[in-house]
Copies of this chain bind each other. A is one copy, B any other.
Amino acid sequence: MKPEALAALQARFAEQLSTAPAILQAHGRDESHPTVHPPHAVLFARSETDVVDALGLASAHGFPVTPFAVGSSLEGQVIPVQGGLSLDVSSMNAVLALEPGGFQATVQPGVTYPELNRRSRPHGLFFPVDPGAEASLGGMASTNASGTGAVRYGTTRDNVLELRVALMDGSVIRVGSKARKTSAGYDLKHLFIGAEGTLGVITELTVKLWPLPGHVAVLRGHFPGVEAAATCAVQVMGAALSPERLELMDAELMRAVNRHEGAAYPEAPTLWIELASSSAVGLGEALGLCSEIMADSGGGGLEVARSAADRAALWEARHHAYYALGALYPGHDRLSTDICVPLQHLPGIIGFSRALAGQEGLHASFVGHVGDGNFHVLFHAPPDDGATWARIHGVYDRMIGEALALGGTCSGEHGIGLHKRAHLAREHGDTLALMRAIKALLDPSGLLNPGKILP
């Protein structure tokens, strides 16, 4: 960034602008180690006007702008690889409106989803998208994040009604509608959702809220193999049970949790199925049907939890999986794949991936949002073990090739960011030219989060 650009930023933003080394460092990375590229400056934006003015200065002085909120992206999305300004919107964290009768809330982009849930619950409502990591709604919209609730409630994309977006030309546009349905003109909203801040900066979101389910229970059981568990998940989906969550962990991860927590979970592939109903009796019947399906698929050790405390206890191993794995291998870098395939291909590609990792002698743990066909393989190795990392990337590459051959995608919920651009080219090579043309329309100088998404 040129000195006059920095001076102009300082003149406009005073103490909202920081060049303190620790701040720059904290804005130079995300959860995808080991890449670190600090920006030249960090702006703590407090309002839409701040965002507009920052983009105006970027245009005038030609420096890059990379939006940032919580820094929990997994593919390098918030890393300012070309330096410039990190536009931190975490202080834009007001819930601007909460309309219980309209089942919607309007928020600034720095509001986190747990905070929105704290605000919604007193109204009997909640926001069901739960990617973890106290993610911000602006970031979640920008990567189309999801999590365990997507099987029932959809992804962030499905839960955003309207956006306000600041563009590089100095304007702020409103896309979508606060109505639940609209067929009014070209849908520009979905262009900005998942665009990772490369087309504009989201300054406000109106999102759907959902009624809290009346009666909830969780079933957990273990299976003789990951494929059997995945097959059971497919059958649950076919039974019109509309599970609230449907999660898989493999034996490797269960073992990691046992070792890390001194627990004694069966070290076998494990499936969690959360069901809800407006009536206790209805829930009981659904649990009965679901238990039968699980038993017929070879599931054993079935446990049911109904109270909030019991449910939390039953989910505990699932919630601690990432952390347990990290703690077991201190100093290792990790990589999480993010493949999603049509549901009928899920057991097959999980088998394929396990065999491949086995052949290559890799530690590979499987965790999956298996009702969606989305699963993550967690690889890990010491950062300097180049040979292992080359094998990991080789396996990942072949897994993506297989997923694409089956009609799937290289990213179910993490996005493309910095790290998966080559995979995007494999998946959507025929539309890259159109993506580039749209990028050029909205950001002709290429200043918005450069280096992301487009290869």
- Expressed in whole angstroms, the Cα–Cα distance for A66 and B29 within the complex equals 49
CA distance A217 to B254 in the complex (A): 43
- Which residues of A in the span 174-195 have a Cβ within 8 Å of any Cβ on B? 174-175, 177-191, 193-195
Tell whether, in the assembled complex, residue B180 and residue A343 are in contact, meaning their CB atoms are under 8 Å apart.
yes
Q: How many copies does the complex hold?
A: 2
A216 to B224, CA, bound (A): 36
Residues on B with beta carbons closer than 8 Å to the beta carbon of A414? 183
Which residue from chain B places its CB closest to the CB of A145 in the assembled complex?
Answer: B183
A171 on the B face (CB < 8 A): yes
Partner of A438, one of B184, B193, B441: B441
Contact A211 B195 (CB under 8 A): no
Q: Does A144 contact B (CB under 8 A)?
A: yes
Q: A195-B186, A240-B213, A412-B179 are in contact. Are A441 and B430 (CB under 8 A)?
A: no
User: Interface residue count for A (Cβ, 8 Å)?
Assistant: 102
Min CB–CB distance A186 → chain B (angstroms): 5
A195→B85 CA distance, assembly (Å): 36
Contacts of A442 in B (CB 8 A): 434
In A313-350, the 8 Å CB interface with B consists of 338, 340-345
- Asked if A187 contacts B179 (CB within 8 A), the reply is no
Bits for A125-145, please: 1 = Cβ < 8 Å to B, else 0: 000000000000000000111
Task: Collect the chain B residues with CB atoms within 8 Å of residue A174's CB.
Answer: 428, 430-431
A238:B181 contact, CB within 8 angstroms:
no
Give Cα A103 to B345, complex, Å: 11
Q: In the bound complex, do residue A340 and residue B282 qualify as a contact, i.e. CB atoms below 8 Å apart?
A: no
Residue of B nearest to A214 (CB): B240
Asked if B191 and A409 make an inter-chain contact with CB atoms under 8 angstroms apart, the answer reads no
* 8 A Cβ contacts from A235-283 to B: 237-242, 276-283
Query: Considering the chains assembled together, what is the distance between the CA atoms of A286 and B277 in angstroms?
Result: 9
State in angstroms the CA–CA spacing of A181 and B277 once bound together: 25
Query: Given A175-B431, A240-B278, is A183 in contact with B103 using a C-beta cutoff of 8 Å?
Result: no
CB distance from A75 to the nearest CB of B (A): 9
| B residues near A276, Cβ cutoff 8 Å | 240
Closest to A158 in B: B158
Contacts of A211 in B (CB 8 A): 237-240
8 Å CB contact of A428 from B183, B184, B279, B427: B184
A196 → B minimal CB distance (Å) = 9
Select A431's contact among B188, B195, B210, B373, beta carbons within 8 Å: B188
User: Chain B contacts of A291 at CB under 8 A?
Assistant: none
**List of 7 A-B pairs having minimum Cβ-Cβ separation, nearest first:** A282-B282, A279-B285, A101-B344, A190-B190, A178-B407, A211-B240, A102-B342
In the assembled complex, 8 residue pairs joining A and B whose CB atoms fall closer than 8 Å, in A order, are A101-B238, A154-B158, A174-B431, A179-B372, A184-B409, A188-B431, A241-B278, A280-B285
* Given contact pairs A100-B238, A179-B409, A186-B191, a sample of 16 additional A-B residue pairs in the complex whose CB atoms are under 8 Å apart: A102-B344, A150-B181, A171-B430, A173-B430, A174-B430, A178-B342, A181-B340, A181-B409, A184-B428, A188-B435, A211-B240, A240-B276, A242-B242, A282-B282, A437-B441, A441-B441
